[in-house]
Structure 1
Amino acid sequence: MRILLDEDVAVQVLEPLRHVLRGHRVDHVQKLGWSGKKDLFVLRDAAAQNFEVLVTNDARQLDDPTETAAIKRSGLHHVRYRQKYDLGVRGLALAFGAVVSAMPFVVAELAMAEGQRLVRISSIGPDGRHSTVDPATDPPKYWPR
């Protein structure tokens, strides 16, 4: 499957996605020299270049009837996510985690789909992602005493 990352997807996610999506071709708008190209033309050109999936951080595309019509015309699967947390690089890490962990499952589902699909990747929140123990004050059972 040919997957294109839109300009609003950080280019740094390209290599992790290539790693988890082996056997698929993952490209980025920036690497193709399409930076600054309007979404309507990205969609048209991506379809012409035989891409099958567009991954974007621009969920508002679906609020614009012109862009929604272009997505439909392109036939591309539209995968969107939102960088929900304004936490700087930590928010970016949460968005990366959501996209990289979801995409192998998304691509497997899309490979079986007949017809175009619209996919929304759920955000990962900053809470509950890890736990910390202070072994000096609350040693776990496995901690040597």
Structure 2
Amino acid sequence: MRLLLDENVPRPLHQVLTAFMLTHEIVHLLDLPGWSGTRDEALYPRARAEGFHVVLTNDGRQMHRAREVAAIAASGLHRVEYPHRHPGLVGIGVAIATGAAGLPGALAVLEEEEGQRLVTLRGVDPTVGSRLRVVDPAVQPPKFWPSWS
């Protein structure tokens, strides 16, 4: 499949995907001359005309804007999103983790499907409470933890 990464997709995710997903052509919009700044209403038909099959985006709002939804539907392209709003290094980490974990399976499903599909990759929650487990061994000693009493 030929996959276009929208300009809101961080370049490090592009590097990870192209390093490991060798059976798909993955192109970042920013690497296409004259494509930067293309509005979504024009992006989807243009991507279709250039032979892309899938657009990967971080723009979860697209599906709430009538003209963009109409352009996506008319293009016939599969749309894959991984919506999150985390800035900086955490945001890049979420994008890489979500894309690397979910995109190979999503593309495998899309290759088997007839007709257009809309896919949302479920993200990795970077909040401390969900990503870390911190144990005070004095309060909750693990099995076999020595007792110093």
TM-score, reference length from structure 1: 0.85
2-structure distance, mates of 1:123, 1:84: 11
**1:132 CA drift (Å):** 6.5
Structure 1 segment 1-145 matched on structure 2, within 5 A = 1-33=1-33, 34-86=35-87, 88-126=88-126, 127-130=129-132
State the SS of the aligned residue for 2:36: coil
**1:91 CA drift (Å):** 2.7
Q: What is the Cα-based RMSD across aligned positions, in Å?
A: 2.4
TM-score, reference length from structure 2: 0.83
Q: For 1:57-112, what per-residue CA distance to the aligned partner results, in whole angstroms no more than 9, with x for missing partners?
A: 111111111110100111100001112334x2123212221112100000000000
**Is this contact kept in 2: 1:8–1:56, CA < 8 A?**
yes
4+ long deviations beyond 3 Å: 127-135, 138-141
State the SS of the aligned residue for 1:27: strand
**Is this contact kept in 2: 1:3–1:52, CA < 8 A?**
yes
Identity of aligned residues (%): 38
1-structure distance, mates of 2:86, 2:48: 32
State the SS of the aligned residue for 2:104: helix
**Aligned pairs, how many?**
142
State the SS of the aligned residue for 1:59: coil
**Highest CA radius of gyration, 1 or 2?**
2
Stretches of structure 2 lacking an aligned partner (at least 5 in a row): 145-149
